[in-house]
Each structure stands twice: as structure tokens, then as C-alpha cells.
Amino acid sequence: METTLRGVGVSHGVAVGEVRHMGTAVLEPPAKQIPAEEAEREQARARRAVEAVAADLIARGNLAGGEAQAVLEAQAMMAQDPELMADVDRRVAVGSSAERAVYDAFAAYRALLANAGEYLAGRVADLDDVRNRIVARLLGVPMPGVPDSDKPYVLIARDLAPADTALLDPSLVLGFVTEEGGPTSHSAILARALGVPAVVALPGAGELVEGTVVAVDGSSGEVFLDPSEERRAELLRGAEERKAALAASSGPGATSDGHKVPLLANIGGPADVAAALEAGAEGVGLFRTEFLFLDDSKQAPSSEKQVAAYRQVLEAFPEGRVVVRVLDAGADKPLEFLTPGDEPNPALGVRGLRTLLDHPEVLHDQLVALATAAQGLPVHLEVMAPMVADRRDARQFADACREAGLEAKYGAMVEIPSAALRARAVLKEVEFLSLGTNDLAQYTFAADRQVGAVSRLQDPWQPALLDLVALAAEAAGAEGKSCGVCGEAASDPLLACVLTGLGVTSLSMGAASIPYVRATLAKHTLAQCERAAAAARSADSAEEARAAAQGVLSGE
């Protein structure tokens, strides 16, 4: 008998296949005492295992490329964290084996994150994965990970670490379902980049019986157990229709009556450019420059390295628009040379623009590098600051851009509710706004964007979030300036129509989502989008908002 479960759809597409579970986590090592004379040997074992795991993660990143490479390199840095290794050495010195010392040191760090309010909880899966890999190597047992299979399957896991997600083989892994995670977790972002249908935050996913046939709808978040032939046909027919619509849709983004909505790509560096161009991106709406800085957390990249990376991206979009976000450090993206390590609540502390204003030399050097990279190119360079809270923040950023001699438009990201509420004031200092809906939802609902338990409050269909988007878009319209969306909300084709109806002037997303959004926008007029937006804002929940907008756009 068919049963329907519902999680959070994070990557478009339909997958039908048998369930296979992720390999089990490493067992807890025994707590045995070692003789004092063996301590040095055990410490050396631990260091060798750490270095081997870090090297493996970097190698996986090199194979995966793009955003996955940056994520895995950050995970390798986590493995080599000097404070963690010092803790391992201390535990070995008082009698722990290498594997037990690693296990306990990581457990202590995990608890530290939880006590800090879990604002870094989205990286707990990454931390656990690093621990498991090191302990597995020390114990001489197989690494936990993707199951071996000679036929395609749907992967089920409690959560997926980036090291596993980055190298999924789409020819074997039809889709995946996780019990934890959220729509903006690393795994969700990488799934969209791979084009693998995915559902996260599905309660009880781990209890699905191995070999059970499921149908996964990565758009709706529905998972059907033992789907009927009729259900399978319905889902696959819908997928084929979407594929045909995508093939027929090309050119600039626009509604059916010709209202232009530029469709831009979110990228992490030069490695992501090819996919953006292939998807028909009209430019870049979010260039996340922090990935360049994560190569070495102890110092900023050289001016030469920055210029080379920026110029590669700028050259790829002649006459196009490239929006660069200056370094967004802090919270879940700490940098040893820049961010404080003892903040009790990092997500509400010194991060984003606040960090750069505390270290003006880092901001100045990056802005000068951007100015140098753009010299002689016809590209339309725009530069924006993350985590702008008010007009003063916007003024200080604009002043820094002018002091660096940067000939570009200066903008502000709207990720803090105060910036949306006072958008007209912010726009007195800058020339455009860009809405980061992931963080804007996090701060609006006091709901950590990486914690699956509060994922309903991270849903970009929440009417309160739509209200804030509307406020910012209306302010930009009144000032004759642009207001785009570069959060993951833009990758939802239905929501893209609603955002257009709210007055958003451009949409930026992962490259894989661009064809879906282009095809859906092309089916509807601007007036329909405006009516759908009004209907969504009149609702009282995310589910009702989506249903109301769907009803308007489908003509019901």
C-alpha cells in the first residue's frame, strides 16, 4: 500500500528506485589505557591518520571541483585544526589510545559548538565525518560512506557529509533522502549543483527498509513508499514534461508578456563558470569570494592570486553583469587571521561587513584587487557588502569602495531584517540591494539555517519573509534602483514567479536551477505573478502560501 512522507525538497527532479542506506558510522573505540612509553608512538599514529584524511579530502575536492572543492578543503582544514590536535596529544599523554583520543577530542569540540547556541551546528555533520574517517583509518576498518551497488538506487542517510555528496555518481545514485539537514545545508547546495533529486529533513528516513521501492520528488519534498504504477507514471510524466519545457526554453529570463527578469548564477569561483554559461546565465548574481580565502585560514590570499581569480570570472561574462560579494567571514566561515575564536554567539556577533570594518586593510586590498581585475574589461562589475544592518554600514562600505578607486556599482545585501525594514535609508548610500533569503529567514525566525528541526521556519515561502522581500523591493522601486534575490529561494521556479510579482528585478541561483526558472517564468504574465505574490502574502503559513500561489498560476 502506497504511503506518502513529506520532507523538504531541495533539488528538482524525480527519482524512482530501491532504497540503499549509507554505510554505518564508525563504532566508538574502546577506552583502554596505554603504557606511558607508547604515548609518543600513538601521537604519531594520530598525526599520520589526520594528514592522510586531510589529503584524501583535498583529493576528493580536486576531483569534484566547483563549490564542492571549497567545501572539502574547508573540511580538510577542520581535520588539521591545531587546537584539536593539541587536545588529542594531551589525551594520549595521559593514557588514551590514538583512536580514543581523536574520538574524545572531537566529542568535546562538538559539545562546545552546541553550548555556543548551535549557530555552527550546520557543520556538525562535517565534523562527525572527519572524526569517523580518522578513527576508521586508525582502526583499520572501511570508511563509512556510499554503499557499493552495481545498479541504480535511492540513497538514504541520517545526513550526508560533503565528502560523500561531492563524489556521488548520478548514474548510480538516482536521488537521496536524509533525515536531517536543511534547504541551505552544504549537501543540499551540492545536490543542486549535481542535478540529483534530493529531499532533506524527512522524519524517520533512517527507518526505511533496505530494498523498499520509493519515488522521490525533489521539488515537492514528497517521498512515496511502494508507489503504485499510476503514481510512478504520473511523476515520470511530469518530469518528462518539465524536461521538454526546459529544452524549449532559452534566451534571457522574462515573463510571457516580455517583462525582463535577468537570471544570474551563484558561483564560488572560476571552476563554476562553465556550468553557469552552459545553463545560459546572463551574468553572476553572487560571486562568493570567501572560498578564495579559505585556501589558507592563517592569512589573506595575495593580491596577485585575488586578481587572477576575479579576472577569470569577469572575462567569462563580457558585457554581462557580475555581482561580487566581498569577503563574508565569521560564524560558520571562520578565518584564523581575521575572526575571533571565542565569541559566545558567532552568528550574532562580528561577521560579514562587521569583520571587514574591523580589518579595513583586508577590505581595501580586496577592493583594489577587484578594481585591477576589471581594468580594460567591458563587464558590468557590481560589488556588495554582506550583513549590512543599517545606513551607517552602507555608508562605510561605499566610502571604502571610493577610497579604493573602484569604478563599479556599490550594493548591500539584505540579510538582516533591519535592512529590509529601513531599505530606503540604506539605498541613500548604495545603488542596489541583493536579498540573501537564507540568512534573512534565519534572523527573521530565530531559526538556525542548518538545523533540520527548525527547517519549516527556513522555508522561503513563509509569508513574513515574503513581506520583508516586498518591503525591500518596494523601496528599491521608489528609489529607481534594483533589488535582486541571490538566496536559494530564487531556485524554486514557482517562488521565482512570486518574487517577480513582489517587484524583485533579478534572480540568482545555482546554475542547475536556471533552466527550470526560465521555463516557468515564460509561462506566466507579470500580472499573474503579481496576483500570485499577493495571494502568497495573504496566507498564514508557508504551505498555504505555496498552495495559494500555485492556484493563481495554474488558473484554479
Distance CA 430, CA 189 (A): 29
Identify the active-site residue in 486, 497, 524, 529: 486
User: Residue 528 class from Cβ within 10 Å (0-12 exposed, 13-18 middle, 19+ buried)?
Assistant: buried
What strands, in cross-sheet order, belong to the sheet with 213-217? Answer: 3-6, 222-225, 213-217, 14-21, 153-157, 173-178, 198-200, 8-11
Q: Are the C-beta atoms of residues 454 and 117 closer than 8 Å to each other? A: no
Q: Is 364 a catalytic residue?
A: no
In one-letter notation, the amino acid at residue 147 is P
- Please state, in angstroms and rounded to a whole number, the distance separating the CA atoms of residues 459 and 331: 21
* Nine cell digits for residue 308: 587572477
Cell of 459: 522555508
To the query of whether residue 186 is one of the catalytic residues in this protein, the response is yes
Q: What is the 3-state secondary structure (H, E, C) of 239-307?
A: HHHHHHHHHHCCCCCECCCCCECCEEEEECCHHHHHHHHHCCCCEEEEEECHHHHCCCCCCCCCHHHHH
CA–CA dist 208, 106 (Å, integer): 29
Q: Which listed residue (12, 186, 359, 524) is catalytic?
A: 186
**479 CB neighbour count, 10 Å cutoff:** 17
Q: DSSP of 94-128, one letter per residue?
A: TTB-HHHHHHHHHHHHHHHHHHTTSTTGGGHHHHH
Backbone torsions φ then ψ of 7, nearest 5 degrees:
-120, -140
Please give the positions annotated as active site: 186, 486
